[in-house]
Amino acid sequence: MKNTFGTSVSITLFGESHGPAIGAVLSGMAPGIPVDRDFIALQLSKRRPAGRISTARVEEDDFDIVSGVFNGRTTGTPITVVIPNRSVKSGDYSEISRLARPGHADYTAQLKYHGYQDYRGGGHFSGRLTAAIVAAGAIAVSALEAKGVKIGTHIKTCAGIADRDFSDIEEDIARLNGLGFAVLDGEIAQAMISEIEAAASEGDSVGGVLETAVFGIPAGVGEPFFDSVESVISHAMFSIPAVKGVQFGDGFALANMRGSIANDPFEVSDGKIITNTNRSGGVNGGISNGMPIVFSCAVKPTPSIYKPQKTVDYVSLRNAELSLKGRHDPAIIHRARVVVDSLTAIALCNLLAQRYGTDYLMPAADK
């Protein structure tokens, strides 16, 4: 299933940056889930570029729900969201279509699709496709919230500057979901923005790390080995074009700890089993342990920069220099955050439906 992720709940993604539309089919969601267009629009607004730190391409992100929703609720059949492409300036791209942008998929697309790819604006490889993930994912996010499962992501580091750690996870998630630039400490947010602007003024770009917390997933979800919670979530995360690393809990830092430190001691608290620390990120042996699921994604700096770069003309096989024009983001980490939330929600709906069946996310009154 090349363009489909998930089995019990799945998303199929389609579209090109400068084609007629992009979109997604979300299949397997329970019936009866309220679908709030305003919430979808809100989620899309978090991905939309804004201000000096983003590309000048601003779109309203109109979206059409063309299937799977009736009388304001999911029907249980596939939900399709289509987002038309309106603000398209293909002229910006036509002259560079033979010069492979370093760090981008121009060259690999050429090799895979033999020149038939729609190269305009990155075509199918454009970050724009993530808008469709966000629109479909918003329905998954709402459905989970109604069951007490809450997802929040902050910019853990950006351009070398670090946000504070999660403290009270439920509160922090709530706070993050109200922010446009998702940093827990407001002053640190300003410092990050300054660094992004500094990079932008030099025609350059920055990256960062996103850290995501999920509160409320019951213990016992996921599989040993190939459908571990980590396997399923990382599979989703690594499909986001800029993500180059994924770690759970303390991740790579665990590699330098001793077992006596790395192990999360169990304890009974209010008659419930919890762990005292959460270095494992809420997953033991591939299966959720009832603690918050916590993971981080490394987001590389935006590859499209204005600084001149060495590259090749992949048709003539000659070395060349590339000076990009057009609209490009000096950072996408603040926009990627809602893409991570959305795909996480879809991955979790899939794991929950596998565990508890089709109707698990249906409003309780109707069962």
For residues 180 and 276, the answer to whether their CB atoms sit within 8 Å is: no
- Residue 218 CB neighbour total at 10 angstroms: 13
Q: How far is CA 189 from the centre of its chain?
A: 20
Rule CB under 8 A: say whether 307 interacts with its own copies. Answer: yes
DSSP 8-class letter at 34: B
| Total of residues contacting its own copies (CB under 8 A) | 152
Residue bearing tokens 């990120």: 281
Least distance to its own copies, CB of residue 82, Å = 7
Least distance to its own copies, CB of residue 135, Å = 14
What is the rounded CA–CA span in Å between residue 329 and residue 332? Answer: 6
C-beta of 50 vs 254, nearer to its own copies: 254
C-beta of 187 vs 258, nearer to its own copies: 258
Query: Considering only residues 59, 145, 170, 359, which one is a binding residue for its own copies as defined by CB under 8 A?
Result: 359
Least distance to its own copies, CB of residue 263, Å = 4
C-beta of 329 vs 341, nearer to its own copies: 329
Mark the segment that binds its own copies (CB under 8 A) among 38-46, 54-62, 139-147, 311-319.
Answer: 311-319
Q: Within positions 110 to 139, which residues make up the interface with its own copies, using CB under 8 A? A: 111-118, 123-125, 129
Rule CB under 8 A: say whether 344 interacts with its own copies. Answer: no
Contact residues for 3 (Cβ-Cβ < 8 A; gap 6+): 12, 13, 14
Rule CB under 8 A: say whether 49 interacts with its own copies. Answer: no
Output b/e per residue, 347-359; b: 16+ Cβ within 10 A: bbbbbbbbbeeee
Helix (H, G, I), strand (E, B) or coil at 167: coil
Q: Within positions 137 to 156, which residues make up the interface with its own copies, using CB under 8 A? A: none
Rule CB under 8 A: say whether 244 interacts with its own copies. Answer: yes
Query: Considering only residues 39, 50, 77, 146, which one is a binding residue for its own copies as defined by CB under 8 A?
Result: 77
Q: Within positions 170 to 229, which residues make up the interface with its own copies, using CB under 8 A? A: 199, 204-209, 219-220, 223-228
Q: Within positions 245 to 284, which residues make up the interface with its own copies, using CB under 8 A? A: 245-252, 254-260, 262-268, 271, 273, 275-276, 280-281, 283-284
Query: Considering only residues 190, 285, 323, 325, which one is a binding residue for its own copies as defined by CB under 8 A?
Result: 285
First to last CA, the chain: 32
What is the rounded CA–CA span in Å between residue 63 and residue 39? Answer: 12
For residues 306 and 274, the answer to whether their CB atoms sit within 8 Å is: no
CA distances from 63 to 29, 55, 67, 82, 312 (A): 19, 20, 12, 6, 38
Q: Within positions 52 to 71, which residues make up the interface with its own copies, using CB under 8 A? A: 64-68, 70
Rule CB under 8 A: say whether 163 interacts with its own copies. Answer: no
For residues 286 and 225, the answer to whether their CB atoms sit within 8 Å is: yes
Rule CB under 8 A: say whether 31 interacts with its own copies. Answer: yes
For residues 172 and 184, the answer to whether their CB atoms sit within 8 Å is: yes
Query: Considering only residues 145, 314, 326, 327, which one is a binding residue for its own copies as defined by CB under 8 A?
Result: 314
Outline where 86-185 has alpha helix (H): 91-94, 106-113, 130-146, 169-177
Rule CB under 8 A: say whether 14 interacts with its own copies. Answer: yes
Rule CB under 8 A: say whether 362 interacts with its own copies. Answer: yes
Least distance to its own copies, CB of residue 292, Å = 15
